[in-house]
Amino acid sequence: MGYKILIADDDTNICDLLKIYLENEGYETVTAYDGIKALSAFKIYEPDLVLLDIMMPRKDGWQVCREIREMSSKPIIMVTAKGEVFDKVLGLELGADDFITKPFDMKEVSARVKAVLRRYSGHDTDDSEVIKFDNLEISLQKYELKLAGKPVDIPPKELELLYFLTSNYNRVFTRDQLLDKVWGFDYLGDSRTVDVHVKRLREKLEGVSDQWSLKTVWGVGYKFEVKDTPAVE
C-alpha cells in the first residue's frame, strides 16, 4: 500500500498493538506518546494519515488536531474513550475526518483507515471535472477549492461534500443521503457529521457570492441553491 500512518497515543500498549496490526496490513507506521512529539513526528515524517488519541499529556488531541489543520489537510482519525456526542462535534469542527471509540476492534480500525485513505486519495471517483460558479471553482481531481480566484485550504471531506452538492445544484438531499453519497456505506458515524461539515463550509463560503448559497431545507436536509446555470468544464 505504501501509506504512512502516524499513531499518537500515550498508552504504549495501544500504540504497539496498532503498530503491529497496521504494519501487518502493509502500512508504514511511526508512534508518538504525547502531543508535542506527535506534532514533531507529523512535520518530520509527513504521514498520509494520523490516528490521534484525545487524552494525551503536554498537548491533548484537540490542540494537536487544530495545529495539524493549520499546516495540512491530511486525514485525521480521532481515538477517544469517551464517545459523547460533544466530543465528536468538537473534533469535526477542528477538522477531524472520523472517530474510533475505545475499546475498538482491529477490523474496525482497518476498515476506517482504508475508507478514509480511499476518500482522501480520490480512488472512489474518476470524475475529473472542474465545477465553476460565480467566484467558486472546485477541482476534485486536484482536491482544490478556489474562492474569488484564490486557493483555499479545505479538508478532503468538506471538499467532497461541496463538490457533490454543487454537482447536483438545486437538488435537496437528506443527511442520510449525503452520508451515503459522500462518506460511503461503510461510514459508521451519524447525521451530525453532515451538520458540522455544512457549518464549516458556510464559514468558508460566507460573502463570496450572491449568486449561490448553501441552503438548509428545514425538516429535509441541504441543497446548493443557484440563481443561474453555472459553467462546467
Q: Which residues of 114-140 are buried (b: 16+ CB within 10 A; e: fewer)?
A: ebbbebbebeeeeeeeebbbebbbbbb
Q: Does pLDDT of 156 surpass 90?
A: no
Same domain, yes or no: 110 and 22: yes
Same domain, yes or no: 171 and 221: yes
Same domain, yes or no: 109 and 154: no
Q: Does pLDDT of 120 surpass 80?
A: no
Q: What is the pLDDT of residue 231?
A: 47
Same domain, yes or no: 136 and 103: no
When pLDDT is averaged across residues 120-147 and rounded to a whole number, the result is 75
Same domain, yes or no: 184 and 209: yes
Q: What is the pLDDT of residue 127?
A: 45
Radius of gyration of the chain (CA): 18
Could you tell me the residue range of the domain that residue 174 belongs to?
130-232
When pLDDT is averaged across residues 80-107 and rounded to a whole number, the result is 75
Range name among 3-7, 26-30, 88-92, 119-123 with the lowest pLDDT average: 119-123
**Considering 68, 92, 121, which residue would you say is the last residue of a domain?**
121
**Considering 121, 139, 159, which residue would you say is the last residue of a domain?**
121
**Is the pTM higher than 0.75?**
no
Same domain, yes or no: 163 and 112: no
**Considering 121, 141, 169, which residue would you say is the last residue of a domain?**
121
Same domain, yes or no: 116 and 144: no
Counting the structural domains of the chain, the total is: 2
Q: How many CB atoms lie within 10 A of CB 76?
A: 28
Q: How would residue 189 be classed by pLDDT, with cut points 50, 70 and 90? A: low
Same domain, yes or no: 117 and 202: no
Rounded mean pLDDT of the chain?
84
Same domain, yes or no: 220 and 137: yes
Same domain, yes or no: 139 and 226: yes
When pLDDT is averaged across residues 202-211 and rounded to a whole number, the result is 92
Same domain, yes or no: 9 and 111: yes
Q: What is the CATH number of the domain that holds 175?
A: 1.10.10.10
DSSP bridge partners of 7: 31, 51
Q: What is the CATH number of the domain that holds 87?
A: 3.40.50.2300
Residue 124: phi and psi, rounded to 5, are -80, -10
Same domain, yes or no: 107 and 153: no
